[in-house]
Amino acid sequence: SHDRRAEVIDWLGGLLPEFDLPLDSSDEELREYLIDGTALCYTADKLMPGVLEGVWGGYASDHRSNVKKFLSVIAEMGLPGFSVKDLEEGSMSSIVECLLALRDNVSAGLGENMSNYAAKTPSRPVAPVSTPGRRSPGEDRRRGLWDAKSPQRSPLLSGQKANEVFQFKRGQYTDLPAAKISEMIQSNSLDNAPTQSLLRVVNGILDESIERKRGEIPHRVVYLLRNVVQEIEHRISIQAEHIRNQNSIIKTREDKYRSKIKALETLVNGTNEENEMAINRLELVKVEKSKIDERRKIGEQDMVRLMREKENAENTVTNLQQEIQVMSRMFEEYREQMEEKTSQMEEHLTLRAKEAEFLLTQSKKRVEEVETASELQSQLWSKKANTFRSFMDNQKLSIKDIRISSQSIKQEMFALQMKWRDEISNIGLDLKGLVDAAENYHGVLAENQKLFNEVQELKGNIRVYCRVRPFLPGQDGKSTAVDYIGENGEILISNPSKQGKDGYRMFKFNKIFNTHVSQAEVFSDIQPLIRSVLDGFNVCIFAYGQTGSGKTYTMSGPGKSKEDWGVNYRALNDLFDISLKRRNTFSYEVEVQMVEIYNEQVRDLLSNDIAQKRNTRYLEYFST
């Protein structure tokens, strides 16, 4: 690559008068020279004058577009180009190869004397010109300079000539001589002419043909036109090919960039996720920090509180210490007092001990005195015992006397007992007589009973009594229906609604109880029947009458006083009375039943069931 670079430097040195790099210059030195594109444009302009100005609009201000213009010329010629990036910072070898290809192409075109090398050989491989051996830079430069200025070998002059060949004024084409046209067609001026010039020729010919209404255009001009159009077609096809190549290159690059963009997008996504995670973590850390701050605040508050408490404790401690001091002082005083007191007490006790000793001696003396006194007493007691003994002897004698007299009394008693026994046996005999008499009494009693009940039977087994109720308070006392009550149970009832005989009616009962008759009087006629019950006869008492006629009054009574008692109470009272009187001879069991018959239904009036006795009694019945 070093040799190839030296070749290019050699060639450029010959071509451009201001180019003065030494042959052994580095890649970077060459890059510095070529980077702004002007040297490249000069080269192109020198090799093919007007090629940049005519087709591509001349030099541009910035270096990149200069380089691009040069590259487009190279591309148009079908030579291998290079990337702008390589020129700016990459390998210089592609630039070196491009320039050498340009050199070889231009020199080959001249050497072979080809009229349209670009059209016929668009990508013709060009053998590099060998530069065997080492040559001094000066020699190379001279050679290069000579090469550049040589009119035979430089395409620069022929290009200029071609340009001049196509400079016409309007309305001249038809008048062109055949020689001039053949020069234009045959020479390589057609190839070297800028496309703009060729188009100007075509337009000019067509304008002239329009202006000349008879359409008389010479054959030679038509021929020129065809050649020019062919040349233009050819160039267009080359450009199209080139554009296609460029398109494919651009497409592959686009694909590359797309994949790169995708990679970058995934990277960006990844970094976004990481960012989010980092933000989350940051927030967590913030929350933690706020918590820690709160805890720290609480801790500080606790500290303050504890400090205060400590101060309080210290205060209490000092207070307690002072109290302790006071207490210890008090205790000291108290101890001293106590010591004093104990000493006093000791003195007092010694005094008391002495007193006690004194008392002891005194009491000893007293004991002696008592002992003497007791001796005297014992003498006295022995005297008394003697007198008692003599008294006892007297007593014994008198007891003997008493025994003798008691024995005599016993004998008397025995005699009396014997006498009583005799008398009692006599009484037994008398009693036998009495028992016989009593047995006779029982017999008489039974006969009495029999007779009593026979009397009752004679009075009638069924008896019907009538009781007339007095008027109730508020009733008209004058409108009584009872006209007359006879002695033997007759009663005359008047009926004022009927006349004559039918106005009166006579009834006969066993007995009539008038209005003034008391409860006791009513019962007096029933009383004998109660005795019959206890003698074993069955008795039944009925009360019969319409509601309000006085059944309950007669049977139970209006009140609880003894006078108010009705037949029921009085009968039971007599039953228990008689059974009590006869309790030595008979024992009775009493059962009581009380029922009512109302609407032919029997009801137990003593039942606890309220429903049983609720209704008004129409007929009352009592039995034992």
Q: Select 54 or 545, whichever has its Cβ closest to ligand ADP.
A: 545
Candidate segments 1-9, 257-265, 545-553, 590-598, binder of Mg ion by CB under 5 A: 545-553
Q: Select 551 or 603, whichever has its Cβ closest to Mg ion.
A: 551
Residue 500 among known ligand-binding residues: no
Phi, psi of 121 (to 5 degrees): -125, 80
d(CA 301, CA 307): 10
Residue 552 among known ligand-binding residues: yes
Q: How many residues of this chain interact with ligand ADP, rule: CB under 6 A?
A: 13
553 contact, one of ligand ADP, Mg ion, none, CB 5-8 Å limit per kind: ligand ADP
Q: Select 489 or 550, whichever has its Cβ closest to ligand ADP.
A: 550
Candidate segments 16-24, 270-278, 348-356, 549-557, binder of Mg ion by CB under 5 A: 549-557
Phi, psi of 380 (to 5 degrees): -60, -45
458 contact, one of ligand ADP, Mg ion, none, CB 5-8 Å limit per kind: none
Least distance from C-beta 564 to ligand ADP, angstroms? Answer: 10
CA distances from 359 to 103, 352, 356 (A): 169, 10, 5
Q: What number of CA atoms fall less than 13 Å from residue 604's CA on the CB side?
A: 7
* In contact, 493 and 505? CB cutoff 8 Å: yes
H-assigned helices in 18-62 = 27-34, 38-47, 51-56
Least distance from C-beta 617 to Mg ion, angstroms? Answer: 4
Q: Considering only residues 105, 162, 617, 621, which one is a binding residue for Mg ion as defined by CB under 5 A?
A: 617
Q: Considering only residues 160, 449, 552, 623, which one is a binding residue for Mg ion as defined by CB under 5 A?
A: 552
Closest CA relative to residue 465, chosen from 567, 559, 604, 548 = 567
Token look-up 């007593």 returns 395
63 contact, one of ligand ADP, Mg ion, none, CB 5-8 Å limit per kind: none
The single-letter code of the amino acid at 325 is Q
d(CA 409, CA 403): 10
Closest CA relative to residue 99, chosen from 182, 7, 22 = 7
Beta strands in 439-502 (DSSP E): 465-467, 482-485, 490-494
Q: Select 90 or 545, whichever has its Cβ closest to ligand ADP.
A: 545
User: Which residue has the CB atom at the shortest distance from ligand ADP?
Assistant: 550
Residues 462-521 that bind ligand ADP (CB under 6 A): 469-470, 472
Least distance from C-beta 516 to ligand ADP, angstroms? Answer: 9
Q: Which residues of 135-165 are buried (b: 16+ CB within 10 A; e: fewer)?
A: eebeebbebbeebbeeeeebbbebbebbbeb
Site string for ligand ADP, 533-572 (x = CB under 6 A): ------------x-xxxxxxx----x--------------
Q: Select 489 or 558, whichever has its Cβ closest to ligand ADP.
A: 558
Residue 550 among known ligand-binding residues: yes
Closest CA relative to residue 613, chosen from 591, 592, 596 = 596
Q: Select 242 or 469, whichever has its Cβ closest to ligand ADP.
A: 469
Closest CA relative to residue 80, chosen from 90, 91, 89, 93 = 93
d(CA 336, CA 91): 119
Least distance from C-beta 599 to ligand ADP, angstroms? Answer: 15
Can residue 603 be called a binding residue for ligand ADP (CB under 6 A)? Answer: no
Q: Which phi-psi region, left, alpha or beta, contains residue 381 (left: φ > 0; alpha: ψ -120 to 50)? A: alpha
Site string for ligand ADP, 295-324 (x = CB under 6 A): ------------------------------
Candidate segments 64-72, 443-451, 575-583, 610-618, binder of Mg ion by CB under 5 A: 610-618
Q: Select 209 or 556, whichever has its Cβ closest to ligand ADP.
A: 556
d(CA 198, CA 225): 9
Q: How many residues of this chain interact with Mg ion, rule: CB under 5 A?
A: 3
d(CA 605, CA 598): 12
Q: Give the chain's radius of gyration (CA, Å).
A: 90
Both tokens assigned to 314: 């210290």
Q: Select 110 or 468, whichever has its Cβ closest to ligand ADP.
A: 468
Site string for ligand ADP, 454-473 (x = CB under 6 A): ---------------xx-x-
Other CB atoms within 10 Å distance of the CB of residue 362: 10
434 contact, one of Mg ion, ligand ADP, none, CB 5-8 Å limit per kind: none
548 contact, one of Mg ion, ligand ADP, none, CB 5-8 Å limit per kind: ligand ADP
Least distance from C-beta 555 to Mg ion, angstroms? Answer: 8
User: Which residue has the CB atom at the shortest distance from Mg ion?
Assistant: 552
Least distance from C-beta 545 to Mg ion, angstroms? Answer: 9
* In contact, 158 and 189? CB cutoff 8 Å: yes
What DSSP character marks residue 471? P
- Residues 6 or more apart whose CB falls under 8 angstroms from that of 216 comprise 174
Token look-up 């062919």 returns 230
* In contact, 19 and 41? CB cutoff 8 Å: no
111 contact, one of Mg ion, ligand ADP, none, CB 5-8 Å limit per kind: none
User: Which residues are annotated binding-site positions?
Assistant: 545-552
User: Which residues are annotated binding-site positions for ATP?
Assistant: 545-552
Binding site for Mg ion (CB under 5 A): 551-552, 617
Binding site for ligand ADP (CB under 6 A): 469-470, 472, 545, 547-553, 558, 617
